[in-house]
Amino acid sequence: MKLGSNILMTLLVMLCTATLAGCAANSGGDNGSGGPPVGPKPIYKNFVVLVNSVNGHIVTPGQGANAAGRGNGYVGFGVNQAGWTTFMIINESPFANCSGSSRGNQKAADWVITRIEVSDSGSMVTDSRAGGPKLKGDDFGTSVPEWVWISFSDVDPNTGLLFEADKSVAPTFVNVYNANAHSNEELGEKLIYYRIQLTSCADGSSKFADPAWGNDGKK
């Protein structure tokens, strides 16, 4: 399913505004611009990942650097690239939450994003739905190393928690900034696995999706 061009443009232009509150503002680095802390100015890349609330599956094919064969939901940031990943629930308004909508003519959301966690542990598995390979994370809720939290500066290093919101105020999409800031010359490509928690507005039940970012770092 394709995301309407007008909605996509709204998301990418209005990142982190007061209207669109679903934002994990991971500025990263120490140069004040949200880029890697040292090295050349990054090349900015933005990606959109769509999640199906019916089954909790991500429908967006792998994108970006080294995406071939890594399954739906994979997002790859190449050397010296940085930017935003927008996670969005299909068929939900970006202006809605469980309580209603900031636009009076739109209905309240049915599902919202309440939590995103990251881990440096995972493996390649078979995607039973697509019949192909997929990167899947393990050990969520545990500590993450420095090379993870220098790319995602809002991460709790002790738990890997990147974003969390109560169901009553949680958004239908979340923007996450990836500074891709580790040293490529020292570490090469590193995989950061993420898990998205979708929560039902009706009964509070949850569904999870957990692909990966591929970070090539900086030189």
Residue 18: burial class (beta carbons within 10 Å; 0-12, 13-18, 19+) = exposed
CA distance to 28, 72, 76, 134, 175, per residue, from 83 (Å): 11, 19, 11, 23, 10
> Where does the pLDDT of residue 116 fall: very low under 50, low under 70, confident under 90, or very high at 90 and above?
very high
What digits encode the pLDDT tens for the residues 129-171?
666 788 999 999 999 999 999 999 999 999 999 999 999 999 9
pLDDT at 38: 56
Q: What is the mean pLDDT of residues 88-106?
A: 88
Mean predicted confidence (pLDDT) in 12-28: 39
As to burial, measured by CB atoms within 10 angstroms (0-12 exposed, 13-18 middle, 19+ buried), residue 27 is middle
Question: In the predicted model, is pLDDT for residue 20 greater than 50?
Answer: no
Helix, strand, or coil (residue 184): helix
Residue 145's pLDDT is 97
Mean pLDDT of 118-138: 85
Domain residue spans in the chain?
Answer: 5-13+41-215
Query: What mean pLDDT comes out for the span 81-102?
Result: 94
Tell me what pLDDT residue 127 has: 74
pTM recorded for the entire structure: 0.83
Residue of 6 and 116 predicted with greater confidence: 116
